[in-house]
Structure 1
Amino acid sequence: MAFIDNQLVTFKNMIEESIKTGGVKGKESMIRSSQLINLIHDAVKYELIQLGVARNQIFPRFGDKKPEIKLAGFLKQKDQDVCVVPSNVRKQPLIIDWGPMAFQRKRDPYGYEYSNNTLVINVRSQMSSLAKNSDTLFERTFAEAHNLHMRYSHMVLGEVYLIPIHEYDDEAVKKNQVAFKKHQTDVEKYISFFNSINGRNLDDPAYMYERCTLLVVDFSKPQPRLFRSSDELKRAGVISSSFEIEYATLGFDNFARDILNIYDSRYDINNLMEK
């Protein structure tokens, strides 16, 4: 079993234990604690390390929540979920004199070259109210990439997003019970969105990402199932047989290798690797 699959087993066990012991409040507390999403953070870091990325250049470190690297984009400074910082590129602190932050005279502790050479991967999930929140998700995902790429046009930026096929049933959760809604998430909508912002080249719009991964997971199974291809999704009845986008292009298994290859095409990959 791949590391990501083991992490998803732990994810399922943790959220369901929180439901059994704390109901709605327990589930909400577990999600807000960031313990669940940090399992996915570590899956990303694990894959990078397996490919030779230097452990001590990954922030936060594998297994840790802090410290995060706060990068200054065009619109705002923001902590990034997973960063691999470059060796042999000096930090050159400066005062922010661009964009809407200029009047605040905030300090950028890293500078342009160091930030531009940093590999940045954002990791998110949405476990409930997916239909209601999809537009907000899409807009926020657009904005995060735009903020960074408007400042750092060559930055290699990744996005990993987890969605369940079946959401946990709210009425059951109120009774401290684990059950799932029969209605399926509109997975085609999510695949279509992430496919449209995946695979950014240097002449592509700033709102795109160099590599996106959409983790489509069925937590209703005794062991959560991470889908890996359109064929698997079609055979399970999750997407229609006529759906044309290949989900494997958004898959997790090759995410780390793909994004490192993109980095290698723009920068010195040795600046990220274990010496």
Structure 2
Amino acid sequence: MNIHQAANLIQQDMEMAITNLTVNGSRQNGKGDTFNNGLEAKTSLIRKSTLINYIHEFVKHEMVDNNIRSETIFPPLGQTKPELKVTGMFKQKDQDICAKPTNIGAEKTLVNWGPMVHSNLYCADGPNLSEQILSVNVRSQLSSLAKNTDTLFERMFAEALNLHITYPKMVLGEIYIIPVYEYDETAMKHNRVAFKQSQTDLEKYINFFHFLSGRDDIDEDKHKYERCALVIIDFSRPHAKVYKTTQELKEDGLVRQTYDTELADISTDNFISELIDIHLEDW
């Protein structure tokens, strides 16, 4: 699966939910009641993580294509469990996709650091193995972007700090999906697909992810990721369009002609291969 196929599957599932009130082949919610409208169905679809799992599978296939053995990938291809729980400085958290070394033994370790000390929690793999896990997390914000921007940015910093403070050499990747235009929620209530007229502030997101990507100094850049990928998708077209370069955005009038931060630097094209190269260099 490539990123374009994943984007089109997201679009198809979203619009099936909105227009046909169907989520994963069912017209009923988890309580056995039918959806009242497309907005309810869309909300249920988002909560089931169906859409984001397409990106998870893209990442896993990219790992395999770049010579990561499938048996080292968690969750395995085509599955959503088990995820690896990694214990950082402030919290334990399941990681979306990991490649876990097989040549290092796990050492279950009582957490005796940070605010979790005396909590009787254990780090299942131990610090040595945990630091050598390659972790990629996937996020999306398909609606209410302006309202959630600050929370997104703060969470990005916090997630990297939580792990890099404890494991300075741990290689982290982050993929984030945003739309050019958000689906219109008022239209969804009438089971129609429509889009808001206002465009997402793409330059703001490109600037932010560009800044957080490309961690160089393991001592000074704990808040950064080894690589970030920003996936910008226009769902308002008959077939979802994924933008990978700033020039493509300029050609469609989505950023200023004078804008000079390069989206290609944080596209998915070399995202996994570069993460793997960094991981191999470190270990």
The TM-score range, normalised by the shorter chain, is over 0.9
1:109 equivalent among 110, 124, 137: 124
Q: Deviation string for 1:191-211 (max 9, x for gaps)? A: 011111110022432110000
1:1-275 mapped onto 2 (5 Å cutoff): 3-22=2-21, 23-201=38-216, 202-267=218-283
- Aligned partners of 2:207, 2:8: CA distance in 1, in Å? 27
| Regions of 4+ moved over 4 Å | none
Q: Deviation string for 1:111-134 (max 9, x for gaps)? A: 011100000001010000001110
Q: Deviation string for 1:153-202 (max 9, x for gaps)? A: 00000000000000001111110100111111000000011111110022
- Aligned partners of 2:220, 2:276: CA distance in 1, in Å? 19
- Please state whether the residue corresponding to 2:210 is helix, strand or coil: helix
Please report the TM-score for the alignment, with normalisation by the length of structure 1.
Answer: 0.95
- Please state whether the residue corresponding to 2:5 is helix, strand or coil: helix
Q: Following TM superposition, by how much is the alpha carbon of 1:241 offset from its aligned partner in structure 2, in angstroms?
A: 1.0
- Aligned partners of 2:86, 2:7: CA distance in 1, in Å? 29
Q: Following TM superposition, by how much is the alpha carbon of 1:21 offset from its aligned partner in structure 2, in angstroms?
A: 2.6
- Aligned partners of 2:266, 2:41: CA distance in 1, in Å? 32
Q: Following TM superposition, by how much is the alpha carbon of 1:259 offset from its aligned partner in structure 2, in angstroms?
A: 0.7
8 Å CA contact 2:245–2:264 kept in 1: the answer is yes
Q: Deviation string for 1:63-93 (max 9, x for gaps)? A: 1110000000000000000000001111111
Q: Deviation string for 1:22-71 (max 9, x for gaps)? A: 31110000000001000001101111111111101100011111000000
- Aligned partners of 1:265, 1:242: CA distance in 2, in Å? 36
User: 2:25 aligns to what?
Assistant: none
Structure 1, unaligned runs of 5 or more? 268-275
Letter in 2 for 1:58: I
8 Å CA contact 2:168–2:219 kept in 1: the answer is no
Letter in 2 for 1:14: D
Q: Following TM superposition, by how much is the alpha carbon of 1:245 offset from its aligned partner in structure 2, in angstroms?
A: 0.7
Structure 2, unaligned runs of 5 or more? 22-37
Count of residue pairs the alignment pairs up: 266
Letter in 2 for 1:97: N
Letter in 2 for 1:80: Q
Aligned-residue sequence identity (percent) comes to 44
